[in-house]
Structures are given as C-alpha cells and as structure tokens.
Amino acid sequence: MSGIPSPRESFGSKFGIIAATAGSAVGLGNIWRYPYITGENGGAAFILIYLLIVIAIGIPVMLSELAIGRRAQQNVYGSFRKLAPNRPWYLIGLMGVVAAFMILAFYTVVAGWTLEYLYQSFIGGFHGKSPEELVGMYNGFIGSSTRPLIWFFVFMGLTAFIVAAGVKNGIEKSTKILMPLLFVILIVLIVRSVTLPGAAKGISFLFKPDFSKITATTFLMALGQAFFSLSIGMGTLITYGSYIQKRDNLATTALSVIFTDTLVAVLAGIAIFPAVFAFNIAPESGPGLAFITLPNIFEQMTGGTIFSIMFFTLLGVAALTSTISVLEVIVAFFVEELKMKRSAATWLATLSVSALGVLCVLSTSSLANFKLFDKTVFELMDFTTANVLLPIGGLFIVIFVAWFFGRDKAKEELSNNGQLKARYIPLFLFVIKFIAPLAIAFVFLQGIGLIKL
C-alpha cells in the first residue's frame, strides 16, 4: 500500500465499527476510576447524573466528530483542511495529533504495568505478601528503570503490530476478539465477587443513591469523566469516523459506543467493590486500587491466582483497545499527509512516541527529580492532555460543526443524505451551538484552575 489508500480502507461490519470505536473509549479509567468516583459521589445518584450528561452532551459531541471524519474521509488534520480550506481550523486537527502523541506516551507506561502484574500473577509473585509488602512491591517496580521499560516496549510493539495490519485486518479484527473477551472476563469476575461473604456492602456503596453527596463539583466530575472516558477531543473519533461507510447510521453507532463504555464502567464497579468490602479494605482510587488493593484481595480469595490472571488480562485488554485507536490517529496522519506506506508510518509513529514514552517511564525512577512546571514528564503529559488539549479540541470541534460546517452538511451526514429521518437533528444543533461549548469551557477552566467549584 503506497500513498493514500485507494479505495480508502473502511470498517467491514456494524459490529466491527462498534467494537473498534467502543474499544477506543473503554480503557483503564473505566476499570478503576469510574467505579471509585461513582462511590464517592452518591453512588446511583452520580450514575444518573453521569448518564444524563452523556446523553445531553457526550452523544452530540461524539456525533460531531464522527460526522467530520466520515464527511471528509481523511485523518484528523486532513479532515479540517478539506472541510475548511485556507482557514486555520486545521490547527485543531494538528492539536489532535499532538494530543495523541502525548497520550500514547504516558498511557502505554501504565498499560505496561498491567503486563508486569499479569506476569506476577502467573508466577505467584503476590503469594504470602502482606499489604505493606505489596505497597513495597509496587513502589519498587515503578521505581526501577529496567522492567517498566521492557513492558512499555512490549506493549508499544503489540499495539504497532495490530495497527500495521490495517483498518479491517488489524484494528477491526482484533477489537472484534478483544471486546467480547473483555465482557466475558468481567462477567466471571462479577460472579465471583458478588458471591463473597459481605459483598452486599460493596453493591450498596456503588448503587445506593446518596443525594446528600451531590454538589456542583459532582456535576463537573461527571462531565469531566464523560468527556475523557468517551475519547472526545483527541482525534480518535474523527479518524475512526472516516472509516465508517456512508450507509451506516452514525447516531446508532454513537449510542452503541456510549452504552458499551458506560456498561463496562458499571460492570467493573460490580466486579471490584463487593470484593473490596468483603475483605474490609478501604476503597482507594487510581493505580493503588488496581496494583495494591486488588492483589491483596486475590491473595485472600479461594482460587485467587486465576482471578488475578483474569483481572490483569482485563486491564491489559482495556488498555490495548485504547492504545490501538490513539496510535491510529498518528499513523493515519503520516499515511495521508506524508504519503507513507502504512507499515513505515506505523513504525515511525511507534519509534517517535517511544522516545517520549521512555521519559515518561523514567519519571518514576531515574528522572523523578527532573521537573517542568513543577511536574514530572509523565505528570506534564497527563495534565496537558486531560486539562488543556482535549477540552480545547472538543470545544472547537463543536463550534466548527455548529457555526462553520453548518446545518445542511450536518443534516446530510447524519441522515445519510435524507435516507434516515433523524428527527433529533434540530436538538443536536441546539446542544452543540449553546450547551456543549459552555459545559466544555467549564471543564477546561476548572481543569487549569481558573475557576474552583
């Protein structure tokens, strides 16, 4: 394959579209961050707010990105250049490519940790260790340079191998296997978790509505979680949208992706928190939950080794479906803008991301004291993408569709040139013109600390 693919590659089936696009949204955050935020912010009350925000804002923003990609049939940068020639909108596309570089660099570091813990599960590395020893094991691992680097390169290589095979034979084929596998593992873990003595407390923690915990910050956290969980603003959805065929229904695709993403997050909570409460362990957020608390639980559980292997396989699969989609943003840019062959573009992207990724890996060890703006390289990549690039990208994407792309083109794309009724279009346009920009601006200003709720 040389230059721009002709005809352009596309997803071959509806299931393939949903598996790939939902895979890009489902990631590590679904497995450990969403359940914890839910529990801390009113349980079922938070889930209700989250769902309302996803429906009211998440779907319109996702539809905007998919419509841009399918209309242009280009990578994220090329899409804006094609739809708005001789205008500076292409800078939003360029920002998406930069965000993809930065996200892949630090995200693959944590993805590599899942492989280390999967390996430890196989060799019985958690056997006989106290909670304190597990903390020491975690700190010792991320504080070393060699093993985290090895696992980083293994994960990057695996991601590159899938992306290099192409849209249909690589991305679609792999996600059609990985996404069902993810659900099977989740269901098995749920069955084990909810049958533990004392598991009911965990279910209550997650699902009992506590409206007293609902504040203005809760709405902001729900908005932020929805925004970042759905891969909005980083160019993934525009890139994947460009592979969706003209006959496919974009609204159905968006709804399926959002349903899958939210379902995985809720199921992860059901798998994790009954076990956490059954063993009287205080729930923690972030990496500590996955890499310290849960290994401790697996050690106390009958058949714990098997469930440990399954859990870290689950984490690895969730991470892989995300890294594939982020790498594809960069590869599509290289193929179409630099006229490279896919294989060469994939390995150039992988090597250039890895150069930045090595600095992120070493941020917890030999480069821990090297700081820019009082942050390690890892922290800087994380903060800049989550709080600056993604919200700004999402903001300008909805402004572009609402005010520049326009009503007629949006209607053509969402109704498949009038073949679908798409009665929701007036409401969609109202949301992206007025509500979504304000909501995203709030997340951005809160994220950079200009407003505090």
CATH number at residue 36: 1.20.1740
pLDDT of 443 > 90? The answer is no
Query: Looking at residues 124-136, what average pLDDT do you find?
Result: 88
CB 425 within 8 A of CB 410: yes
* Cα atoms in the Cβ-side hemisphere of radius 13 Å centred on 255: 6
| pLDDT of 4 | 41
Split into its structural domains, the chain has a count of: 1
- Domain residues for the domain of 403 are 14-447
Residue owning tokens 């804006």: 80
DSSP 8-class letter at 55: I
pLDDT of 5 > 60? The answer is no
| pLDDT of 1 | 38
Amino acid, res. 204: S
CB 113 within 8 A of CB 142: yes
Contacts 24+ apart (CB under 8 A), 339-346: 339/2, 339/3, 339/4, 341/1, 341/2, 342/1, 342/5, 342/164, 342/166, 343/164, 346/160, 346/163, 346/164
Express as a percent the part of the chain with pLDDT over 90: 60
Strand partners, 375: 372
pTM of the model: 0.92
Average pLDDT over the chain, rounded to an integer: 90
Query: Quick check: is 5 in a domain?
Result: no
Structure confidence at residue 317 as a pLDDT band (50, 70, 90): very high
Query: Quick check: is 386 in a domain?
Result: yes
Q: Which of 48-52, 97-101, 237-241 has the lowest mean pLDDT?
A: 48-52
Query: Quick check: is 9 in a domain?
Result: no
Query: Quick check: is 7 in a domain?
Result: no
Q: How is the chain split among helix, strand and coil, in percent rounded to 5?
A: 75, 0, 25
| pLDDT of 148 | 97
Query: Quick check: is 453 in a domain?
Result: no
Q: Which of 40-44, 260-264, 326-330, 368-372 has the highest mean pLDDT?
A: 326-330
| pLDDT of 3 | 42
Structure confidence at residue 240 as a pLDDT band (50, 70, 90): very high
d(CA 345, CA 1): 11
Alpha helices in 26-89, H assignment, sequence order:
28-40, 44-53, 59-72, 76-83
Query: Quick check: is 266 in a domain?
Result: yes
Query: Quick check: is 321 in a domain?
Result: yes
pLDDT digits (tens, 9 = 90+) for 153-171: 999 999 999 999 999 999 9
Q: What is the CA radius of gyration of the chain?
A: 21
Structure confidence at residue 230 as a pLDDT band (50, 70, 90): confident
Query: Quick check: is 180 in a domain?
Result: yes
Query: Looking at residues 331-338, what average pLDDT do you find?
Result: 96
Helix 173-194 with 250-278: angle, nearest 10 deg: 30
Residue owning tokens 């693919």: 5
